[in-house]
Homo-oligomer: A and B are copies of this chain.
Amino acid sequence: MIVTYLENCLKEVSVDCVIFGFDGSTVKVLLSKWKNIDYWSLPGGRIKKMEALNAAAQRILQERVGLKEVFLQQFNVFGEINRCEHYDELETTKLIEKSIGEDLSKIPIKHRVLSVGYYALLDINKVKAIPDEYTEECRWMELNEIPLLLFDHNEMIDLAIRTLRREVKYQPIGNLLPDKFTLAEIQKLYESVLDKTFDRRNFYKQITKQDFLVKLAEKRTGSANKSPNLYRFDQSKYEQALEAGMGF
């Protein structure tokens, strides 16, 4: 029951997560399809009464993708009175009622909810996305094929990607990569996030002079050509660089 669930949580604030994932070639966003209706939204959740805000975001992320140690950052609070972007409030309420099979008018909470937006970066291949009790499917979607979402979630994604593009110049984004990766992969990652291409040789020169990249003895074999080297992040140097705010 939705009422009992809400009892242990803050009622005026929630958390929504724009979870960016990289699959080796493009950056995608994780969306959830609600039960019984053909509408999607960002994964989100409530903050427990005795839970720190950032801890709540981390828990919600973990519930959805089973991962904790990822880059997760606040980027905006969405606090308009009416946060239904595409459909009006009544229409949205009806959709939610149809989806969860409950009469929302019976629920004593009758006010708008602010939502703290977080964005997360992770490697798609490391996770298995799991729907929550209101949703029946999780899907990674390309940035350019996101449908009309419930609430103000299109706006959230838009602001999250713009924030990421700005921030990426000052922070390494290793959390989107697998533990071991090739230089071509990290280049594709940057190209996908920033939506432009780089000259391979210049990119290699710049990235390899960063000391948080460690060249492994291993190679990725399998294709009909010279095998590319594998690299990994030096965790402590990576964090130092994050701290110092290095750029790329």
Contacts and interface: CB of A to CB of B under 8 A. Distances in A.
A81 B47 CA distance: 11
Interface residues of A, number: 24
Interface in A109-138: 111, 114, 116
Contacts of A116: 77, 79
Contacts of A74: 76-77
State how many copies of this chain the complex holds.
2
Interface in A173-218: none
Interface string A52-65: 11101000000000
Contacts of A166: 170
A13 interface: yes
Contact of A12 (B11, B50, B52): B11
A52 B77 contact: no
A13 B76 contact: no
A52 B76 contact: no
Contact of A53 (B49, B50, B79, B111): B79
Contact of A54 (B47, B50, B79): B79
Contact of A47 (B47, B56, B79): B79
Given A50-B81, A52-B79, 15 more contacts: A10-B12, A10-B111, A10-B114, A12-B12, A13-B13, A13-B114, A47-B79, A47-B114, A49-B111, A52-B80, A52-B81, A53-B77, A53-B78, A53-B79, A74-B77
27 contacts: A10-B12, A10-B111, A10-B114, A11-B12, A12-B12, A12-B13, A13-B114, A47-B79, A47-B114, A49-B111, A50-B81, A51-B81, A52-B79, A52-B80, A52-B81, A53-B77, A53-B78, A53-B79, A53-B80, A53-B114, A54-B79, A74-B76, A74-B77, A77-B77, A77-B116, A79-B116, A166-B170
